[in-house]
Amino acid sequence: MADLVDRNFQDQKIGVAVINLLRGLPIFSGLGDSELRKIARLFTQKLYRPGEKIFNKGDQGNEAFVIMRGQVDICLEEGAKAIATLANGQIFGELAFLDGAARNAHALASQASILLVVQRSAFNELVQREPHLGMVVMKNIAVELSNRLRKASTSMGGPKK
């Protein structure tokens, strides 16, 4: 019985940590605690060892990832230098997650990492039940992606805003 109580307490602590992490992500901006709890329930935790692949370029994008702890390198080609290194509290894989298209890069853990993983199918089921929640998240993803595109365009000599 004590083990069950301890495990339940640990699950609650992890749940609170996940909700707090999600609250700090721009794509969940504007959502209340009850909505964040619904989203948090969709995530599972996955552990990765240093050097372990998370996904390969060309894989179907059925998942999005949030780094709870650790570091992830994004590379355009296997074994190539990282084009981005992501750390605690950052989300990745959300572009292919939107439409299930093929991944356009490789992702691998550069440190021991704990990732939160959400399946596209689970998210879509929630959106069917809670359209407002889906609209807020999709709008936030669109804003985040447009900011990245604008930043990339500016760094390549495009118009500055």
CATH code of residue 25 = 2.60.120.10
Residue 161 lies in a domain: no
Quick one: average pLDDT of 78-95?
Answer: 92
Q: What is the pLDDT of residue 127?
A: 93
Q: What is the pLDDT of residue 14?
A: 55
Domain tally for the chain? 1
- Residue 62: what residue type? N
Residue 160 lies in a domain: no
Of the chain, the end-to-end C-alpha distance in Å amounts to 60
Residue 77, domain extent:
2-155
- Distances from the Cα of 80 to the Cαs of 22, 58, 74, 83, 84, in angstroms? 31, 16, 9, 9, 11
pLDDT digits (tens, 9 = 90+) for 13-71: 557 889 999 999 999 999 999 999 999 999 999 999 999 999 999 999 999 999 999 99
CA dist 141 and 98 (Å) reads 9
* 8 Å CB contact between 86 and 98: no
Residue 132 lies in a domain: yes
Q: Is the Cα dihedral 55, 142, 116, 123 positive or negative? A: negative
Which residue in this structure is represented by tokens 């929630």?
126
pLDDT digits (tens, 9 = 90+) for 114-146: 999 999 999 999 999 999 998 999 899 889 888
Residue 61 lies in a domain: yes
Residue 83 lies in a domain: yes
